[in-house]
Amino acid sequence: MNHFTSVVIGEDPPGSRTVKSVPFVELIGGRIQGVVSSGSDLARVYVSFFEVKTGHYYCCTNNNRPCGGLRGAPCKHIHELIAAAILEFGPNRVASYLGLEGKEVDVEAIATAIRALRGNEVKESPGIVFSRFLSYLRYCELSVEPGLVLEMGWFPS
């Protein structure tokens, strides 16, 4: 019921996930995009995206070297990224982002929908996603003065 409702009942609470392999994932601009750690080099990360309408995708290092795992199909980094999105945002939100409706929106349905898209590799500079990653990391460094934040009364968790 929407009538005079200030606080809505939350969707599925997001699941905890490890951030070692996928430090950053987001749903924005019609894409699932984010940053995946390199298994071998601490200083290197992969910047990947998957466009949900077309299935187009790309993955490269933060220094703009194409990922060696792209061989005509999304690499393992993109699969890791999508799996992290499902963990962090829950299958319902990811499914609805993909435009899937109805009851059958489990992880399997998401995987099927993604396989069915058959997009192309579309080369793109990692700059924008990488700078969004830096903005995201900034949240871990922002400080807050002690005191009650009354406004959070609208946001029970």
Partner 1 sequence: MKRLATLPSGVSETLELVGRFDQALMHGFARLGDDHRQGLDALTEVFAGSPLGEAVREAVESVGRAEFLPRSFLALASARVALLGAVHDALVAQVRTVLGRPGSVENENEFPSSRPPGSSATTLASTQQWLTELAISGLNHLEEPSVAPFAATLERLQATSDLVGLASLLTGFSNELLRGMSGSGSSSSKKQRDRPAFRWADLWSGAMVRTQELPAIPRFQEVAGTFTPLGLELQGHENFACAILHGIFDEGSARHVRIPLQSYKVGAISGPLIWDLFTPFAAPILSAIEGHKCLLISAGELREDGSLILRSAPKVGPASDPFAAAKGLTSLPTPPPLLRHPVHLAEPVHLTERTDLPLAVERLSDAPDLAKAVEEGASEMVGLLRFDRGGWRIQPLCARTKKGFLMNGEGIATARKKVKERPLDVLQERAGRLLRNKS
Residues of this chain that interact with partner 1 (CB under 8 A) are 1-10, 13-20, 23-24, 27-32, 43, 52-53, 88-89, 93, 96-99, 101, 133-157
φ and ψ at 25, to 5 degrees? -145, 145
Closest CA to 82 of 42, 62, 124, 52: 52
**Which helix (H) or strand (E) element contains residue 49?**
strand 45-51
Provide the residue type at 104 as one letter: E
When the beta carbons of 52 and 75 are compared against partner 1, the nearer one is: 52
Phi, psi (deg, nearest 5) at residue 125: -65, 140
Whose CA is closest to 50, among 20, 84, 19?
A: 84
**Cβ distance to partner 1 smaller for residue 42 or 71:** 42
Distance in Å, CB of 22 to partner 1, minimum: 9
Shortest Cβ 94–partner 1 spacing (Å): 9
Q: Closest distance between partner 1 and the C-beta of residue 13, in Å? A: 7
Residue 72 or residue 155: which is nearer to partner 1 going by CB? 155
Residue 129 CB, shortest distance to partner 1, in Å, is: 13
Nearer to partner 1, 70 or 133 (CB): 133
Q: Quick one: which of 93, 79, 91, 100 has its CA closest to 34?
A: 79
- In the numeric block, which tokens belong to residue 119? 């997009």
Indicate the residue among 71 and 138 with the shorter CB distance to partner 1: 138
CB 31 within 8 A of CB 50: yes
For the bound state, the minimum distance from the C-beta of residue 71 to partner 1, rounded and expressed in Å, comes to 26
The sign of the dihedral angle between the CA atoms of 57, 24, 107, 69 is: positive
